[in-house]
Structure 1
Amino acid sequence: MGQQQLLLLVLSTVIVGLATVAGIQAFSENQAQASQDALVQRGTSIASDIQGLAGKPTQMGGIDPTDISDASTIIDRLGYDANPVSAEGAGTNGECEIKNNSDSSVGTIDIVCTSDDSPQKVTVGVSPSADEPVTTQFGSP
């Protein structure tokens, strides 16, 4: 083999190696973003279910929108088996925990979603009687 052919072989091997590393890195970043998006979707879905309960009369299984501070009642009314709730598609150990919001007034519930594959935790606040009934915040895991 000539020297020029060996040089082209080495150069093409280096280019293929760099492309492979870049592809693996892009895949990892996209996987983390997909986990984050799945947590946001699950938290928002639970918040929507809570708003639906707040819109129903209490005689028909709804909850009082001005007093939704009891997370165990909400979990029971939504029909979830346990708290935290599984967050499918959010990666390893993806789950959303429904909690009373101790920093806020009565009538607010927080849904805190985490996953081992997500770079941040997602907190979705639900307050059906507020001007902005659903808020989303991101924080460190």
Structure 2
Amino acid sequence: MGQQQLLLLVLSTVIVGLATVAGIQAFSENQAQASQDALVQRGTSIASDVQGLAGKPSQMGGIDLSDTDSDIASSKLISRLGYENLNDADSVAAQGAGSSAGCGINATGGSVLVHCRSPDAPQDVTVGFDPTADPKVQTEFGSGEKNPFD
């Protein structure tokens, strides 16, 4: 082989290697963003379901979030929404966000916080529903469970 052919072979090998590395990196970033989007979707979906349940009269299976004297147990709220609990009683699976992704539900003081996390997503998501606030549903990103209404 001539020197020019060897140079072209080495150059094409380097270009293919760089393209492979760039493709793997792009795939990893896309996977993390997809997990983040799945957490937001699941948290918002749960908060929307809670909002629908809070809008029904208690005689028709609804819940009264305005009664701040009696906080609703998270496991009871999860079962009233029709979700299946994960290993612990206060968590719901977040499909599409990774194998160990989940959303915890905390109902206190007339509002509901849905905190979703996944090891595959870059940030945790907290979705809050407060029937007295405007807007009623708000989203907060970051680590740790924060109340978006604060």
TM-score for the superposition, normalised by structure 2: 0.85
- How many angstroms apart in 1 are the aligned matches of 2:67 and 2:47? 15
Residue 31 of structure 1 corresponds to which residue in structure 2? 31
- How many angstroms apart in 1 are the aligned matches of 2:79 and 2:131? 18
Residue 42 of structure 1 corresponds to which residue in structure 2? 42
TM-score for the superposition, normalised by structure 1: 0.90
RMSD: 1.5
* Structure 1: runs of 5+ lacking an equivalent: none
Residue 115 of structure 1 corresponds to which residue in structure 2? 118
- How many angstroms apart in 2 are the aligned matches of 1:81 and 1:3? 66
Q: Which 10-residue stretch deviates more, 69-78 or 106-115?
A: 69-78
1:23-102 to 2 correspondences below 5 Å: 23-67=23-67, 69-70=71-72, 71-82=74-85, 83-100=90-107
Q: Name the SS for the 1:29 alignment partner.
A: helix
1:127/1:133 contact within 8 Å kept? yes
- How many angstroms apart in 2 are the aligned matches of 1:54 and 1:5? 73
Residue 138 of structure 1 corresponds to which residue in structure 2? 141
Identity %: 69
Describe the superposition over 1:20-47 as per-residue Cα deviations: whole angstroms up to 9, x where unpaired. Answer: 0000000000000000000000000000
- How many angstroms apart in 1 are the aligned matches of 2:107 and 2:60? 23
Q: Which 10-residue stretch deviates more, 45-54 or 121-130?
A: 121-130
| 1:131, distance to aligned residue in structure 2 (A) | 1.5
* Structure 2: runs of 5+ lacking an equivalent: 145-150
Q: Which 10-residue stretch deviates more, 84-93 or 69-78?
A: 69-78
Q: Name the SS for the 2:115 alignment partner.
A: strand
- How many angstroms apart in 1 are the aligned matches of 2:64 and 2:46? 17
